[in-house]
Amino acid sequence: MRIAPSILSADFANLERDIREVSDADILHVDVMDGHFVPNLTLGLPVVARICQVAPMPIDVHLMIEDPDRWAVQYADAGAFSVTFHYEAATNPRQVARELRAAGARASVAIKPGTPVERALDLLDEVDMVLVMTVEPGFGGQAFMADQMSKFETLRAAVDASGADVWLQVDGGIARDTIGTVAKAGGDTFVAGSAIYHAHDRNAEVRALRDLAERAARD
């Protein structure tokens, strides 16, 4: 069970400090938004490259941008451990995944709440992670969409049957009261923004969320 704090909820004026305050995390989730694929605008390639240099954990980049066919591999070249592109934005998702792997990064595909899970199933042989959005992408702090759990159940069954090493990530509304639901449905990698960054002790919250996920998966 992997916990990935999202710096979307961090203080961008004190970003390195806020990254180091979640040093117990497994990976760090970095949202790149272009103001076109989603209505929000965050940060881009130069900032991500610098984050990769200073962060004490691997960087998990989530591209919520148009034309990932052009841009995705550049984030791998900048040092990202994992790069997620949206199925809905890619012209050739299979080729994007192959280029990411060739560049030495883990390739990941994301699907929005309205996208059928079959789109991700078709790419399981090409990716290292599938991200299921449990909010509409673009802004942090949204309410968790429990109706997406059937996607995790379907993906978990397919991954287990194939024997592939494919992580199943969730992003959107993850906190103490929702993480167990996803863990029981088959998720194993959890993005949490406000739940961690609004906590008094951020590393303690990382550990608490991981413990809740592990217990839910065992039950």
| Catalytic residue annotation | 31, 171
Q: Radius of gyration over alpha carbons of the chain, in Å?
A: 16
List of residues 6+ apart from 96 with CB closer than 8 A:
68, 69, 72, 73, 85, 90, 107
Beta-ladder partners of 129: 108, 167
At residue 92's C-alpha, the angle toward residues 47 and 40, to 5°, is: 40
Q: How far is CA 194 from CA 49, 142, 174, 199, in A?
A: 24, 10, 9, 8
Is residue 91 within 8 A of residue 71, CB to CB? The reply is: no
CA distances from 38 to 97, 136, 144, 194 (A): 21, 9, 18, 19
